């Protein structure tokens, strides 16, 4: 026989009294009594999918500078504080000399062609990883949105899920399921409809798959050795998997002057008819 207590009761119930109670009842009734915690208390909180990369946030895009450049430019030094022959000025000048040397070495590292290729490859793989996490396991939610066109407003039911896409403003993908008026049911009612939710999930997963196929990131099969190059020319061997040589990449840290770049989308997909 098992007894299960409300989790809130454990703030007031003494565990020893519960054990004593079980022991007394066991002796009286002649069979064992055990007490258990609810299942959600016995298990640890599940981890959530991380759908944000590291290099995806560091490297330059058409909308922002690289984090490396922002870091290097993030200074407010008054050179007048270095002038003078006092003890403080001497210390500051010595530190300033090392400061400039450190910045130059840092710039050389991030601008080394081998490192640029490595950073770009990491960005590609991060995109593949976080997108794969979403397509394999991502909760689907329904929402209702209103759109105004030509002076009239139309309400739609959409399915949405977390999904990273560098071309989108928000890390989310959406699929239009139909007009609210035509579907004729509320979001709450539809969310309880297993068949409707299965269809929504199918459309979301296919939309994710379409984005991933467009990116065409291939995982290497043949093992090779890549090298991280320091500013002094020292090579640090790093094992990776590369399938074939890739064309020369652009430096992600150099500003790119583009005229009227294409605006980012909101990751919205309309069902194919």
Run of H or E residues at 25: helix 15-29
Instruction: Give the model's pLDDT for residue 81.
Output: 87
Mean pLDDT calculated for residue range 113-131: 93
Residue with structure tokens 């403003």? 169
- Residue-wise pLDDT tens digits, 168-203: 888 999 999 999 999 999 999 999 999 999 999 999
d(CA 23, CA 18): 9
Mean pLDDT calculated for residue range 144-150: 87
Residue 260 has pLDDT above 70, yes or no: no
Q: What is the mean pLDDT of the chain?
A: 76
pTM of the model: 0.61
Instruction: Say if CB 176 and CB 268 are below 8 A apart.
Output: yes
Instruction: Say if CB 161 and CB 204 are below 8 A apart.
Output: yes
Cα distances from 64 to residues 61, 145, 208, 254, 260, in angstroms, run 5, 30, 25, 11, 14
Tell me whether residue 95 is exposed, middle or buried, using C-beta atoms within 10 angstroms of its C-beta: 0 to 12, 13 to 18, 19 or more: exposed
Sign of torsion over alpha carbons 73, 75, 81, 85 = negative
d(CA 212, CA 131): 7
Residues paired with residue 156 on neighbouring β-strands, in sequence order: 145, 179
Tell me whether residue 229 is exposed, middle or buried, using C-beta atoms within 10 angstroms of its C-beta: 0 to 12, 13 to 18, 19 or more: middle
């Amino acid at each position: 026989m098992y007894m299960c207590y409300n989790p809130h009761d454990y703030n007031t119930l003494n565990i020893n009294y519960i054990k004593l109670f079980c022991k007394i009842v066991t002796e009286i009734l002649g069979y064992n009594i055990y007490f258990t915690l609810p299942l959600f208390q016995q298990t640890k909180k599940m981890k959530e999918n991380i759908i944000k990369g590291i290099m995806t946030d560091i490297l330059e895009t058409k909308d922002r500078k690289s984090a490396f450049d922002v870091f290097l430019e993030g200074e407010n030094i008054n050179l007048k504080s270095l002038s003078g022959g006092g003890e403080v000025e001497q210390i500051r000048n010595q530190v300033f000399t090392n400061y400039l040397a450190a910045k130059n070495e840092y710039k050389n590292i991030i601008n080394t062609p081998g490192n640029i290729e490595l950073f770009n490859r990491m960005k590609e793989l991060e995109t593949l990883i976080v997108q794969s996490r979403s397509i394999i396991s991502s909760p689907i939610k329904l929402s209702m949105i209103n759109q105004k066109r030509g002076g009239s407003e139309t309400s739609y039911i959409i399915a949405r899920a977390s999904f990273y896409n560098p071309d989108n403003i928000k890390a989310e993908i959406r699929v239009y399921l139909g007009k609210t008026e035509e579907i004729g049911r509320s979001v709450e009612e539809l969310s309880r409809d297993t068949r409707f939710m299965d269809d929504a999930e199918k459309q979301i997963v296919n939309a994710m798959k379409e984005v991933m196929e467009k990116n065409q990131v291939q995982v290497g099969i043949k093992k090779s050795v890549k090298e991280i190059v320091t500013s002094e020319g020292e090579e640090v061997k790093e094992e990776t998997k590369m399938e074939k040589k890739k064309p020369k990449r652009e430096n992600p840290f150099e500003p790119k002057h583009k005229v009227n770049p294409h605006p980012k989308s909101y990751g919205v997909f309309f069902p194919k008819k």
